[in-house]
Every structure is written in structure tokens, then in C-alpha cells.
Amino acid sequence: MSPSPPVRRTGAPAGRTLAILAGGGPLPRMVAEAAAAQGRPVHVIGFDGFCEPATLAGFPHDVVPLAKVGRLFAALAAAGAQDFVLAGPVRRPKPSQISFDPAGLVALMRLLPVWAGDASLLARVIGLIEAKGYRAVGAHDILPSLLAQEGPLGRHVPDDAARRDIAAGFEAARALGLRGRGQAVLVRGGNIVGEEDRAGTAALLQRSNAAGAVLVKAAMPGQDRRVDLPTIGPRTVEAAAQAGLRGIAVEAGETLVLDRAETLAAADAAGLFVFGVAR
């Protein structure tokens, strides 16, 4: 993505300016629109190659390469940001594959000890930005309606066999999260038939023999709730239907449901349950 000229903001309402540090997908735009509707000044800082052009449209914004930390801090300062939210997936490259600016190299040295662990890495990233005086907030702080509630979210409900798979899945997902590997597993007949890695849930469904399985997603134990909560949306349901799943179980209060009406309508049409479980 080529950097776009910032959009000038005029007549911004009073309040703490929120910077959206935007990766891919619809979540950054949803958070930006919700914050603006609440009367907050919003500035979007999109990560080049990840943030989608539609995320930036109509908002004051900058586009910065992932490793140019100095440019990120400059954009935050120029925007007058006080709070920030990390939203949307960003694939983690190998350090040897990207070019760092001086501030990025300093950050890299602090991040390398936890580079392999998603939860630890993201917590450290938040800490680096907070050390500059900015306050981190979660996407769900801006849009609490995104959080999944307990029980059936759509029309379909799991039967007894699926509930047993769900219970087994949450145990396996917790163990996976303790290893810092991922947030999702596939369960069929009480057996774990797939585990998520950094490639994400879609890749898990594509590479696994998932027909008849249940997808279970849970937050990593000890995870910073301000970033990278488990997320499902229309794409998740589409991939689950194509893979022949029976349904999706998520951790209630800890999972974001994007485009809820569309997601649940698609699940209902496909005969899939979407079920929230309090843990």
C-alpha cells in the first residue's frame, strides 16, 4: 500500500484523541467508527501492507511500515493521540526480512526475547508504546457489543456429543494457549484433530480434515485483554461451512464477534451453531 496523504480533521470534538493502530480486516474500521460516534477524535495509523484502504477512508490517517517505529511515534505525536488501540491482524515477519529504522532496532532488541510468543510479544509491544506516555485500550472498550455472550448466539444449539467436544476443546485450547501457540482447536469425537498456529484460524480449517468437527476458540491464559482477543466473523463462518464443521464454540466475554448480524445469519443458513461458553 502506498502511503496516503493525511486527511485534515476540522472541528474535532473535545475528548481524548484515540489512535487506531490498524492491521487488516474490518475491526479497525469498526472501532474507528464507534469511537467517532462517541464524540472522540480519531486518527488511524495503518500498517503498510496490512491495513486496507477502506479502513482509512474519511478519517485523518497515516500509513507507516511495520518496522519504522520512529515514524509510528512521530505519527502518534503529530496526531495529538492520548490513547491507542491495536486492532486487526498483522503477520509477523522474520526480523531478517524487514528494514528497521533506529527506533525500530531499539524496539527489536527489547522484543526478541519474546518474539516467538504471541501473547508475550503483544504485551511487550503495548508496553513500549505506553512507555512513551500513551494509554492502551481494547477494541471491546470502545465496542463492548462485540463481545460474545454465554449461550447460543444464533438459531442452532449443540447436541450432547457436540457439548462434550466443546468441553474437550476448551481444555485443549487452554493448553495450546499456555504454550503461546494459538487460540483455536478442532475437536471431533473427543479427539483433537487440529490446532491453530500463527497462520490463523482460516489456515487451520484449510489444512485439517475438519468435517464433522467443532471449532473452539479461547483466549490465551494470562493474555492482555486489550489486544488480540479471539475473533470470529463472516469469514470464519464461511470457512467453517466449507470445511464441514458442526459448529463454533467461543469463550463468552473474551471473544469478539465481528459483523454480528451477518455472521449469525450465515451460521443459521449453514446449519452451524455458534455457542458462547463462560470459563
Query: Please, which residues have CB within 8 angstroms of residue 258's CB and are 6 or more apart in sequence?
Result: 25, 26, 27, 30, 146, 231, 232, 233, 234
Helix (H, G, I), strand (E, B) or coil at 212: coil
Q: Classify burial at 174, counting beta carbons within 10 Å of its beta carbon; exposed 0-12, middle 13-18, buried 19 or more.
A: middle
| pLDDT per residue as tens, the chain (279 positions) | 333 333 333 333 347 899 999 999 999 999 999 999 999 999 999 999 889 999 999 999 999 988 788 889 999 999 999 999 999 888 766 665 556 666 666 665 655 544 445 555 566 778 888 888 999 999 999 999 999 999 999 999 999 999 999 999 999 999 998 887 789 999 999 999 999 987 788 889 989 888 999 999 999 887 777 877 899 999 999 999 999 999 999 999 999 999 999 999 999 999 999 999 997
- Which residue from 180, 173, 66 is spatially nearest to 116, judged by alpha carbons? 180
Domain locations in the chain as residue ranges: 18-142, 147-277
This prediction's pTM: 0.80
CA-CA distance, 149 to 145, in Å (whole number)?
Answer: 9
Domains 18-142 and 147-277 share a fold: no
The CA distance from 168 to 192, in Å, is 8
C-beta of residue 87 within 8 angstroms of C-beta of residue 136:
no
CA distance 30 to 32: 6
Indicate the CATH number of 147-277 among 3.40.140.80, 1.10.3720.10, 3.40.309.10, 3.30.420.10: 3.40.140.80
What contacts 256, CB < 8 A, 6 or more positions away?
A: 27, 139, 140, 146, 147, 148, 229, 230, 231, 232
18-142: which CATH architecture?
Answer: 3-Layer(aba) Sandwich (3.40)
Contacts of 246 (CB under 8 A, 6+ apart): 158, 162, 212, 213, 214, 272, 273
Question: SS3 of 223, please?
Answer: coil
